[in-house]
Structure 1
Amino acid sequence: MPSLVLFNKPYGVQSQFSKDANNKFAPLSTFFSDKSLRVAGRLDATSEGLLILTSDGQVNKAITHPPRANDGRKQGKTYLVQVEGIPTTAQLEQLRQGVMLKDGKTLPAEVQHLSEDELPMPLWQRDPPIRERKNVPDSWLMLTIYEGKNRQVRRMTAHVGLPCLRLIRWSVAGFELGNLGVGEFVRVHLNKKRLRQLGID
């Protein structure tokens, strides 16, 4: 039965097993010794949260190049985004409609402005902590996108005037971070129903 690993990637860890040239960030081999695992959808070293790994090539492909869902869109990736400033209705609407970036217009996104109490999980202290400006408030957004442009979420929020302070991936292709602690992981065995949801018969 195919399986995958859900990992709560800490800040400062790369989505690769080998060290980078300047050793600035820790590799995944700090946490995993199974050399058959491959990353299904990268996450920047300066981003946190859900990283999926699997040794099954078909599962990896289904997550990184998912079939279109019933409504004609790909399965989404949802992020918790701490931004500088308080979002206006106009800024949120821009994100929902898609914004024009250097590499093209993004697909429409789903976005909600949440209080910290409304986030789907308790937050952990980031190391290092985010920069804070006493005279500038910050806010949380829950943002779901349906594509994977480079550093897309950060560029989208910056484009509408809401610089990203912290980025946590909450879900990918229906798999959620849940209550995994920082640096923790869990192995999930995929039954026939879950495989069908991924487009694998």
Structure 2
Amino acid sequence: LKLVRNMRAHSDPWFAEYLLRIGDGKEVTNRDGEVRLPDEICVSRTGKDTDLDTLIDNTFPSLDANTSGPDYITSRAILSTRNDSVDRINLKMISRFQGDEMVYHSFDCAVDDPHNYYPPEFLNTLTPNGLPPHVLKLKINCPVILLRNIDPANGLCNGTRLVVRGFQRNVIDAEIVLGQHAGKRIFLPRIPLCPSDDEICTI
């Protein structure tokens, strides 16, 4: 789960058509080329700490009553342009789900670092593109997205959307919620992850 600022994601057909008109350059603009967002997809911003809660309440109304339904979770999203905002929103969203929290930690190491110039304590503070955070907090019924191709033939590929159904120490029990494999229960083991060459951090 990466706020076009104060904008809610909609699954209604009119919203898809609206986005297509913008993409095709057919939506009405002002003299500066700016597009007015419809009031029904905007959430007022006050500058207070409660703005994020307001955005979540508008994007995920009645969350407690709908967490078990995969259609509810997968038909809406909060988008953001920055990873630090994503992490803050994810933590806030996880706290909204009922039940106990499961915390997974990564085991970070640097390749070709024989002198240990980059200790794990430092590596744990980094979140390169394509890698999950060092501390991953999950709850039952929360959505997750797969970041690697594990078993494409069975629906486990980069971008697959799932909902968490259970936990083990090194395994996540999840259900695929979109595509031809929707409804399939799978187990996600702890696996090694490494950013691709075009995603490598410069330290």
Provide the TM-score with structure 2 as the length reference.
Answer: 0.26
Identify the structure with bigger relative contact order (alpha carbons < 8 Å, sequence gap 6+). 1
Provide the TM-score with structure 1 as the length reference.
Answer: 0.26
Which has the greater radius of gyration?
2
